[in-house]
Structure 1
Amino acid sequence: MAATTQPVIVIGAGLAGTEAAWQIAQAGVPVILYEMRPQRQSPAHHSESFAELVCSNSFGAMASDRAAGLLHEELRRLGSLIFSKAREHQVPAGGALAVDRALFSEDLTRTLADHPLIEIRREELRSLPTDGIVVLCTGPLTSPDLAEDLQRFTGQDYCSFFDAASPIVTGESIDQTIAFRASRYDKGEAAYLNCPLDREQYLAFREALITAEQAELKDFEQESAKFFEGCLPIEELARRGEDTMRYGPLKPVGLFDARLGDWRDPENRSRRPYAVVQLRQEDRAGNLWNLVGFQTNLRWGEQKRIFQMIPGLTQAEFVRFGVMHRNTFINAPQLLDPSLQFRQRPTLLAAGQLIGTEGYSAAVAGGWLAGTNAARLALGRSPLVLPDTLVSGSLFRFISSAEPKYFQPMPPNFGILPNLEQPPRSKKDRYAAYRDRALQDLNGWQQVHSVGNPPSVPSLATAIAH
């Protein structure tokens, strides 16, 4: 393909679109970035800022012997803007990478606005541009007109599932004579507030969830709704069994109130809570706290009534209630190559939840690859495919080659990586081997293609893993 000076069009300024626009501009190619907010708001967003984190302020575990943490490390080495800013606006979250979401998004918005090669247009595109290089990053809530045009282009209906966001409460309304600070197994800073429940409290709480009144899905078609298994509403977990929540977001393992003594003391182990509700810090000042794993579709009045049953939250002040919305995604295995180009139109690329990857970090990875490849196409170069031994590479290989009939959104995980030649028996050693292989392969790949940052300085994730 011959080089072109025509600007690349990026549609959508979420995580994927923000990362894509930056990578294109940094390659010396002009960008026009379209964002429909505030001209038209989505059902899930609360601000006009770019890369708004809608459901949670956490990017997941930082340790690079975890799939999420390894993906963080890959993106750091590839020169991701999002992860650079995430580290600047990090708030305490134990072993997880969480950010002050307002400062994070505002900084990214300013950074893109200040780039001389990025032109921002606050308007809605109702159809796909018919020529030039285009990166589609409109996310799971693509506007109806553009979604209809995309459907005409692909000749396919969208797939869909229902996603939900957790409530947020004020820090001053949490009773910290009951809630205790701790991270699981004391890993990292004690950055979570933990509300302990005994068996009687837990069973009463579960019963209230099961019998609570749900919010209506409005214009969503209830008979076709499917929950994404990685983001189930808390009331759905409660319905699935008496102990389901205790093996999920209310898992008490590794959490102990230091005010009761040392958890390592065998005499204290019997004092472990029956269940624990964790709250994660939302902002740098610690004024806002997110109920971890409490995605919900309960009516707002029911949320207040039931969540105030949790010890430590009886006077909780809610600044945001949980919400539920429909996420849509294309059937990527039928449409995309692992370079994130549409097979029927290679100058059209896509990234983010729209393509069936799940989670913030996966959206950033897609934005990096789609943006990098869009810039390469504009410069007359061949597009890249990430090695499938990387978490990012395996994710894009999966979404481009999975069985279309059963395709569902996929989060980063070690299960989709190629098998190790000699896998260690212990899970810990196996995950470390996945990490070591991935980073070695990434280093060689970067040297061949001259992309990203050299791994000269160990990252915090690598330090944590070791």
Structure 2
Amino acid sequence: MTAKATLHDVHIIGGGLAGSEAAWQLAQRGVKVRLSEMRGTGEMTPAHQTDGLAELVCSNSFRSDDDTKNAVGLLHHEMRALDSLVMRAGHIARVPAGSAMAVDRDVFSSEVEKALGQHPNVTIVRERIDALPDAGLTIVATGPLTAEALAGSIVRATGAERLAFFDAIAPIIHRDSIDMSKCWVQSRWNKATDASNEGGDYINCPMNEAQYRAFHRGLMEGEKTEFKEWEKNTPYFDGCMPIEVMAERGWETLRYGPMKGVGLDNPFDTTHEFPQGRWPYAVVQLRQDNKLGTLWNMVGFQTKLKYAAQIELFRTIPGLENAEFARLGGLHRNTFLNSPEVLDRQLRLRAAPHIRFAGQVTGCEGYVESAAIGLIAGIMTAAEFNGRAWHALPSTTALGALLSHITGDADAATFQPMNVNFGLFPPLHDVGKKVRKEAYTNRAKSDLARWVSKSRELAAA
């Protein structure tokens, strides 16, 4: 597609979480941005349902918001310290989810688009970009569903085969179709938040052993999406693994994963038949998906089951016998770069350093991580545009650790998408195991504060 000309300093290709965050960071620093998004031209990806910027296509959760001893919660903290648009919009769109941060996906997307659409330094253009530009500062943030023509251009520029894995999405259920005479509302270990509207943040559907075994058998036997021959050896990313793939690892795997009943007191169990007392043998949890509380998603139930098989099996879950689905689960293929090999430490393409990559296409995994890499790419590009040397982020911070993994610390021969985790941080050997995570977060916050102060000094010089 031939696009109309607009005056800009930096071109961002892709209006997902990473592209939107990069655009915000640049615009806030006085850099004029052209943000190109294919959706809205009549074309869609296999996973998106709207043309809204920063649409959430999988879960509605940004995971833990605990910034005292959780790596992704620490990443939330660091992004807020750097004026993240994703964190701003997430705060406005937040819905109850215990200690996690979950959002109304429509409100979230709307807030991101409104902020960028009203910014004087951002021009949003609905257009498909088919090739990497030959010149000009550019950030490619097209995500794991990059259109075929542009993906081909990237492959030619990197001189490498694309890597790929499968990503699954979970079903969403209408709240008023759930039979609450068989379910109850509670957060695990009663860790509810002030936003909780029913004394807890999750609807819990309990199963006894017979029900669980029958459900497990249904997962194993249900009709699945068929793959093409060349797709059969493509790996899954563990963070979005289909429920039936987990079930294949053993009949009790789910009871120690998304269907664990620990910390949940089943009010319907009057016999106390289990050693744990009132904890259910297994449980399916539903998490609020929108601010109105009318939609709830099945936590951890990403699936490649065919639609008819999903409806038949999921309606065997106690309380979901008459469930009405706002969206059924699905499966799509993701692509990402072998970033340690093809990108430098500033996310620039070694073969064409005027181009940076950001988001999931770089090999990070998760909404927050994708936005975080977009944030970093935006700040880096602003520094380059303004002729300033890049002041490297400490690897002791969540942002720095994630960036280091993507741009060189990981082995290129075995590189795979990664969520932020403390395993990416420089180790602390002089603190006890019980307080180590808290020590990681304290060190990171202190080091980030110093980095922010030094960066402001350099910008003012």
Alignment match, 2:60: 57
Counterparts of 1:355 and 1:232, CA distance in 2: 20
Match of 2:224, SS? coil
Consecutive unaligned residues of structure 1, counting only runs of 5 or more, are 452-466
- Counterpart-to-counterpart distance in 2, 1:395 and 1:293: 24
- Are positions 1:204 and 2:214 aligned together? yes
C-alpha deviation, 1:347, in angstroms: 2.1
Aligned counterparts of 2:232 and 2:391: Cα–Cα separation in 1: 41
1:24 matched to 2:33: no
Aligned pairs for 1:42-441 within 5 A:
42-64=45-67, 65-189=69-193, 190-217=200-227, 221-257=230-266, 269-401=276-408, 402-426=410-434, 429-441=435-447
CA displacement at 1:260 relative to structure 2:
6.5
Instruction: State the SS of the aligned residue for 1:194.
Output: strand
Larger RCO (CA under 8 A, 6+ residues apart): 1
How far, CA to CA, are the matches of 1:338 and 1:185 in structure 2? 42
**1:442 is aligned to 2:438:** no
- Look up the match of 2:3: none
Is the partner of 1:450 in helix, strand or coil? helix
Q: Which structure 1 residue ranges, 4+ long, deviate > 4 Å from structure 2?
A: 258-261
SS at match of 1:54: coil
Secondary structure class of the residue paired with 2:320: coil
Greater shift after overlay, 378-387 or 101-110?
Answer: 378-387
> In the alignment, which residue of structure 2 is the partner of 1:458?
none
Q: Does the residue aligned with 2:297 lie in a helix, a strand or coil?
A: strand
**1:366-389 Cα deviation digits (max 9, x unpaired):** 010001111111111123432111
Residues of 2 paired with 1:202 and 1:361: CA distance? Answer: 33
Given the alignment, which residue of 29, 35, 38 partners 2:40? 38
Preserved contact between residue 161 and residue 328 of structure 1 (Cα < 8 Å): yes
How far 1:58 sits from its partner (Å)? 0.4
Deviation at 1:258, TM superposition (A): 5.4
Contact residue 95 and residue 289 of structure 2 kept, 8 A: yes
Assess if the C-alpha contact under 8 Å between 1:6 and 1:132 holds in 2.
no
TM-fit CA distance, 1:31: 0.3
Amino acid at match of 2:430: Q
Tell me, what secondary structure is at the counterpart of 1:339? Answer: coil
Deviations 1:334-392 (A, max 9, x none): 01223222233332111111000000110111010001111111111123432111122
For the residues of structure 1 that align with 2:174 and 2:229, how far apart are their CA atoms?
Answer: 31
Specify the code of the residue in structure 2 equivalent to 1:45: H
Shift of 1:270: 1.4
* SS of structure 2 residue aligned to 1:60: strand
Distance of 1:223 and 1:421 partners within structure 2: 42
Q: How far does residue 84 in structure 1 lie from its aligned partner after superposition?
A: 1.0
**Matched-pair contact (CA < 8 Å) for 1:347–1:374:** no
Q: Which letter maps to 1:13?
A: G
Unaligned 5+ segments in structure 2 are 1-6, 194-199
Is the 1:338–1:385 contact (alpha carbons within 8 Å) kept by the matching residues of 2? Answer: no
Indicate if the aligned counterparts of 1:170 and 1:317 stay in contact, CA closer than 8 A: yes
Deviations 1:281-326 (A, max 9, x none): 0001110000000010000000000011111111100110100000
- Normalised to the residue count of structure 2, the TM-score between the two structures is 0.93
User: Any conservation in 1 of the 2:266–2:278 contact (CA below 8 Å)?
Assistant: no
1:227 shift after superposition:
1.0
Contact 2:157 2:351 in 1 (8 A): no
TM-fit CA distance, 1:421: 4.0
Q: Distance in 2 between matches of 1:323 and 1:119?
A: 33
Q: Secondary structure at the match of 2:277?
A: helix
CA contact (8 A) 1:16 1:368 kept: yes
Return the alpha-carbon distance in structure 1 between the equivalents of residues 332 and 30 of structure 2. Answer: 38
Please give the per-residue CA displacement for 1:397-441, whole angstroms capped at 9, x wherever unaligned: 012121111111011111111111413132xx1110110000010
Q: Please give the alpha-carbon distance, in whole angstroms, between the structure 2 residues aligned to 1:247 and 1:384.
A: 43
* Residue-by-residue CA offset, 1:61-91 (whole Å, 9 max, x unaligned): 1111111111111111111011011011100
Distance 2:443 2:62 in 1: 23
Paired with 1:173 and 1:201, the residues of 2 have a C-alpha distance of 20
How much has 1:230 moved relative to structure 2? 2.0
The residue matched to 1:362 in structure 2 has which SS?
A: helix
CA pair 439-274 structure 1, distance change in 2 beyond 3 A: same
Stretch of structure 1 that moved more, 10-19 or 227-236: 227-236
Q: In structure 2, how many angstroms separate the alpha carbons of the residues matched to 1:256 and 1:227? A: 33
Which whole-Å CA distance do the structure 1 matches of 2:275 and 2:282 have between them? 16
Aligned partners of 1:384 and 1:90: how far apart in 2? Answer: 33
1:249 to partner: Cα distance: 0.5
For 1:385 and 1:343, how far apart are their aligned partners in 2?
18
Sort the Cα spacing of 1:109 and 1:14 in 2 relative to 1 into closer, same or farther, 3 A. same
**8 A contact 1:195–1:278 mirrored in 2:** yes
The structural deviation recorded for 1:225 is 1.8
Name 1:455's counterpart in structure 2: none
After superposition, the Cα gap between the structure-2 partners of 1:338 and 1:186, relative to the gap in structure 1 and judged at 3 Å, is farther
- Rounded to whole Å, the distance in 2 between the matches of 1:304 and 1:415 is 39
Q: Which amino acid aligns with 1:359?
A: G
